[in-house]
Structure 1
Amino acid sequence: MKKNLFLLGFMACSLTMMGQTDKQESWYFKLGGSYFTQTAATEFPTVGGNAALSKVYVGGKLVSEESVTGSFGEGFRTGFTAGYRFNTRLGVEMGVNYYNSTDKTMAKTVSDVPITPAGVYNFESVGQITAFDLAPALVLFLGEHKGFEPYTKVGILVPIHGDLEITSDANAPIAFAPSGAPTAFGKIHSVDKVKPNPTVGFMSALGTSYKLGKNISAYAELEYRNFTVHGKTKETTEFTINGTDRLNTRTQAQIHTNYQDKIDVKSNNAATNPSGLDSTKPMDELSSYVGISGLGFTLGLKYSL
């Protein structure tokens, strides 16, 4: 469906360019803010060995469990766009945007007593994405009437910088008896930052401008966008126990992660290579994906030269 919409918009812009003879070449610039809602929810990846589940225990027994799903497509965006009109109908744009998603719970466990054998209870991981992206697009202007000029555009999204920040808090064992049973509990807080692999997304929009003056217009857009982010590395940047910084007590394998498409007996992971784990090197873990699909509404100002 996304490919069909993109091709349809591209064909419409191409036909308009071929048939247009009335030249009106000009530059314009736009500054706007957007709010997006998520349009597609998928199951979140595993966070620190915890599956994307919401669990509730009573008296040490599991009483409810459900998958945690969502998308990081909900959030706020600010952006600056430079555009060039080849004629009255066809133009191109290049947008530079900063996006800040809303917080999303990725895994959660609630219990009134410690859960054996791990002893962990009241655990929660919350993720948030921040990113800068470039958004080149083709624009088809549909004609001006009484100050309004509707238009459509199709293009791609190219993230150039950003990360997924995952904040985890838990009540967990911090001391153990010789038998291995937990003897003391503490509040453990950690922050992990996931860096992505390069990716490309799709966007399309329907908008209109309204002339406020000779060179100034207000504009509004309804925009759909869709892309996924593939994790490359992860680093723990904060780790405290009862408010005390304990990051220096963590090994390199506990702090750093390299995401792989496959882990096996040669990987630096205790699950597949328990005898060959090197704690002085980053851990190898299976790669994960998160979605950033959303439908957004943008308001802003446009200045035409």
Structure 2
Amino acid sequence: MNRIHLLCLALLAISFTNGAHAQSTPGKFYMKVSGGYFFSVSPGQFPDVGPYPPRDERVAINPTTGATTTLSEKVLTGSYGEGVRGGLSFGYVLNKNFSIEGTFCYYHSSKNLMTKNVTTIQGTNTVVGSIESHGHVNAVDFAPSLVVSPGYEKFNPYVRFGVVVPLWGRLYIETEATRTSAVPGQPAAVVAQTAIHRKEEIKPNPTFGFQGALGFNYAVARRLDIFAEAEYRNVPVKGKSKEVTEYDEVTRVVNTATGAEIGRQTRGLNDLSTAERETEYKTVLDESSNTPTSTTGSKTNYKNDNAPANDLKSYINVGGLGLNAGVRFRF
């Protein structure tokens, strides 16, 4: 990462140093404002959402024995490379054919279905449990690049290539879950209905990627151009840590024959243990890792409930192929 930061600083230093000797020449410095949409081109299997794998599953349960049968199962794949981007670029024209520029970019990905599980009573369509999670990425990055063009005045095609240095980013995952279960010692008509809303944020490890674009500038005034380009980005990201930021659990004990609520229990964010709330990702899990040991209702018990849990690192890609367009102001 230090080498990448030094490269970014060096490119900016060159532009400002050369600019000090060329202030009398108009059009050397420029600024670009752009917006665009990117599409996923390298889908892969999504990471697990806690204990739930990236699957779309339909399961039937035998109410007498508790045995389950998988009716259908589908692996969920995709990437976080699809979404909208907005950029602000600063550049300097070195000569007729070469320019350097640096772009600050904000990215918001589309939502992805990461896990889904629906459980019905065997032989019926009665749903007694469901889990559904969606995730999206927000990120800010800096992309220094070299621009090569033939240097035409009116219509000037160009090739741009360089690196991508993420400055900030989060993977947000929201989960909605419901479950209906029998209450020990109560008639069959009395059931416990649980609803859970959960939101978590995954922080990434430092990384960098690559980007390249093919586009054109078209002069519409002496100091104003419009431009459009096709851009490809490849930015692999691996998780560093995860934190549950929202948690709301409500369990109602209901008599289904009369609709009367007999009792209610709730759990909030402050009721979660440290291990349930915080996770540190590891490349390898071993006997010393803080992993789950059992469950008590919806509560997960760990070897040490008072320390962050450990889980295997997950990988996502926030790169893609997209189209950018905008305006360029020359100074």
TM-score tier after normalising by the smaller chain length: 0.7 to 0.9
Q: Does the 8 A contact of 2:224 with 2:330 survive in 1?
A: yes
**What is the correspondence of 1:1-305 to structure 2 with a 5 Å cutoff?**
26-58=28-60, 61-113=69-121, 121-144=129-152, 147-172=154-179, 177=184, 183-242=191-250, 246-270=268-292, 277-305=303-331
TM-score (normalizing by structure 1): 0.84
Task: Show structure 1 runs of 4+ deviating over 6 A.
Answer: none
Q: Which amino acid aligns with 2:277?
A: I
Structure 2 vs 1, CA of residues 254 and 215 (structure 1 numbering), >3 Å: closer, same or farther?
A: same
Aligned-partner Cα distance in 1 for 2:212–2:171: 24
Q: Which moved more, 1:274-283 or 1:249-258?
A: 274-283
SS in 1 for 2:275: helix
Amino acid at match of 1:289: Y
Is the Cα–Cα contact under 8 Å of residues 27 and 223 in structure 2 kept in the other structure?
A: no
Preserved contact between residue 211 and residue 217 of structure 1 (Cα < 8 Å):
yes
- The answer to whether the 8 A contact 1:113-1:121 is kept is no
Which amino acid in 2 is paired with 1:255? R
TM-score by length of 2: 0.77
Counterpart amino acid of 2:248?
T
Give how far 1:70 is off: 0.2
Q: CA deviation at 1:61?
A: 3.1
Query: How many Å apart are 1:227 and its aligned residue?
Result: 1.4
Output the CA distance in 2 between the equivalents of 1:275 and 1:76: 40
Structure 1's 267 and 245: CA in aligned 2 closer, same or farther, altered over 3 A?
closer
**CA distance 1:275–1:41, shift in 2 (3 Å):** closer
CA distance in 2, matches of 1:113, 1:167: 26
Alignment size in residue pairs? 276
Q: Deviations over 1:232-273 (max 9, x none)?
A: 00000000124966111110000000001111111111359x
**Which amino acid counterpart does residue 34 of structure 1 have in structure 2?**
G
Report the secondary structure of 2:292's partner residue. coil
Question: Following the alignment from structure 1 to structure 2, what is the Cα–Cα distance between the partners of residues 276 and 293?
Answer: 35
What value does the CA root-mean-square deviation take over the aligned residues? Answer: 2.7
Unaligned runs of 5+ in 2: 1-24, 62-67, 252-265, 295-299
TM-aligned CA distance change 1:128 to 1:186, over 3 Å: same
Return 5+ residue gaps in structure 1 as ranges: 1-22
In structure 2, how many angstroms separate the alpha carbons of the residues matched to 1:97 and 1:130?
Answer: 11
Aligned equivalents of 1:297 and 1:139: distance in 2? 17
